[in-house]
């Protein structure tokens, strides 16, 4: 199966499910917690979430966890649909993107609470750093939804999509900007002070982009200040740990890719060369330490497992957007081929969630896996098509 047909099958399968599915972190949506809502928080909720996330058996049907759409996943599908539309000029892709975008507009976090456009997850989320109730906005979901809506607004000329995308920058600045323990950054979620590089950098990148579009000089200054914080904390070898807390001291593939793509997006938006060296060092570390000779995308810099399509998809986007050289394209093709050979289930026409050394988790997590695959493969197909024209 060639990549165009394979990706078409990914879209077809997801569309058949109305883009609704299970999520690695959605187990707190279980009907069990209707009777015991207080157990969502604290150690019980954290263990419940992690056990269901890590299990290769999908207990969600018996636990009463419904299949639902995830706003971030829908944003990724829209970005992929727009890539396919640009490549083919087939109206079906644009029509589908419009339908999904109209749904996203109905899923904004409560505007009376947050004042500006923003989005969160469709489930309560218990992590070691914080507890996040359903619908509470986070910067990463907001960024991907905003990118999708703005891109669609450009193609259609419809401001009902582009206006909330631009407004999201005001949410990031007014609600997520944080000064804590000597750092200046954008927080992952409101009212929390955990410093995470990819969240802060993507926040800075979108604020910089909107600053450029609207000629907001204050936002340009703020975006640069926040980006400098993460660049200052980049390791000498070009790497970044995930974040500042003790359990964040790991280096992994897709978050490294996030950091590089966000910095590149910011430097392009503001037309600055200030971060060129940091990006060059980071990209060099990324290519040297997070991929194996055969194209295997490693999860951690010091451990290949778990093999995860999230790592593969971000690699495609990072290598083509931030790099884009002939060597980068060649490495990207090797990564894609290796992923198809090792992680694609031909009979079900979709990718597994994760493959570990001794077992494989085949649960169909649409937001985490299929949405990322569809967007990244669509981007690759459009990139290659543009090269050949």
Residue 130 has pLDDT above 90, yes or no: no
Burial call 19-45: b when 16+ CB within 10 Å, e when fewer: bbbbbbbbbbbbebbeeeeeebeeeeb
Give the tens place of pLDDT for each residue, 100-122.
999 999 999 999 999 999 999 99
Give the C-alpha separation, 339 to 298, whole Å.
11
Q: Which residues pair with 22 in a beta bridge?
A: 365
Other CB atoms within a 10 A radius of the CB of residue 85 amount to 21
At 3, list the tokens.
């990549």
Write down the pLDDT at residue 1. 61
pLDDT band at 127 (very low <50, low <70, confident <90, very high): confident
Backbone dihedral angles phi then psi of residue 300, each to the nearest 5 degrees: -110, 160
- 3 state DSSP class of 241: coil
What does the pLDDT look like over 283-292, one tens digit per residue? 999 999 999 9
Which letter does DSSP use for residue 120 in this model? B
Which pLDDT score is estimated for 248? 94
SS3 label, residue 291: strand
Express each pLDDT in 230-245 by its tens digit.
Answer: 999 999 999 999 999 9
Report, as an integer, the average pLDDT of 88-93.
98
pLDDT at position 389, please? 79
What does the pLDDT look like over 298-320, one tens digit per residue? 999 999 999 999 999 999 999 99
pLDDT at 71 over 80: yes
* Cα 337 to Cα 72: distance, rounded to the nearest angstrom: 26
CA 263, 226, 367, 93 torsion-angle sign: negative
Above 90 in pLDDT, residue 126? no
pLDDT value at residue 382: 97
pLDDT band at 163 (very low <50, low <70, confident <90, very high): very high
Domain boundaries, given as residue ranges, for the chain: 27-67
In terms of residues, how long is the chain? Answer: 389
What is the rounded CA–CA span in Å between residue 188 and residue 240? Answer: 17
Residue whose tokens read 């804590």: 180
CA-derived radius of gyration, the chain: 20
Which bin fits 287, alpha (ψ -120 to 50), beta or left (φ > 0)?
A: alpha
Could you give the CA distance from residue 274 to residue 44 in angstroms, rounded to a whole number? Answer: 46
Which of these, 335, 347, 322, 323, lies nearest to 377 by C-alpha position? 335
Residue 131: the pLDDT is 86
Strand ranges (E), 78-140: 125-126, 131-132
Tell me the two tokens of residue 186. 């954008």
Phi, psi of 196 (to 5 degrees): -125, 125
pLDDT at 129 over 80: no
């Amino acid at each position: 199966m060639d990549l165009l047909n394979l990706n078409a099958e990914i879209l077809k399968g997801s569309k058949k499910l109305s883009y609704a599915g299970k999520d690695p972190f959605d187990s707190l949506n279980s009907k069990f917690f209707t009777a015991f809502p207080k157990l969502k928080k604290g150690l019980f909720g954290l263990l419940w979430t992690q056990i269901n996330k890590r299990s290769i058996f999908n207990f969600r049907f018996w636990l009463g966890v419904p299949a639902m759409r995830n706003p971030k996943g829908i944003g990724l599908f829209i970005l992929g649909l727009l890539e396919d539309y640009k490549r083919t000029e087939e109206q079906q892709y644009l029509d589908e993107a419009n339908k999904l975008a109209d749904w996203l507009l109905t899923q904004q976090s409560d505007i009376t609470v947050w004042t500006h456009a923003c989005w969160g997850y469709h489930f309560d989320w218990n992590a070691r750093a914080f507890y996040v109730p359903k619908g509470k906005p986070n910067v990463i979901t907001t960024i991907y939804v905003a990118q999708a809506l703005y891109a669609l607004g450009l193609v259609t000329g419809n401001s009902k999509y582009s206006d909330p995308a631009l407004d999201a920058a005001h949410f990031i600045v007014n609600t997520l900007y944080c000064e804590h323990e000597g750092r200046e950054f954008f927080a992952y979620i409101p009212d929390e002070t955990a410093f995470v590089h990819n969240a802060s950098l993507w926040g800075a990148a979108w604020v910089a982009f909107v600053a450029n579009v609207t000629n907001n000089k204050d936002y340009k200054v703020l975006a640069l200040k926040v980006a400098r914080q993460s660049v200052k904390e980049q390791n000498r070898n070009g790497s970044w740990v995930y974040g500042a807390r003790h359990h964040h001291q790991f280096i992994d593939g897709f978050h490294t890719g996030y950091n590089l793509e966000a910095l590149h997006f910011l430097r392009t938006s503001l037309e600055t060369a200030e971060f060129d060296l940091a990006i060059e060092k980071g990209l060099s570390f990324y290519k040297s330490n997070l991929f194996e000779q055969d194209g295997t995308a490693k999860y951690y810099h010091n451990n290949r497992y778990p093999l995860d399509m999230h790592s593969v998809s971000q690699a495609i986007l990072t290598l083509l957007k931030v790099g884009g050289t002939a060597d980068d394209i060649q490495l990207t093709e090797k990564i894609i081929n290796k992923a198809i050979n090792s992680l694609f289930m031909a009979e079900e026409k979709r990718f597994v969630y994760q493959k570990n050394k001794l077992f494989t988790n085949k649960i169909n997590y649409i937001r985490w896996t299929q949405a990322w695959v569809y967007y990244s493969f669509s981007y690759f197909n459009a990139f290659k098509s543009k090269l050949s024209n």
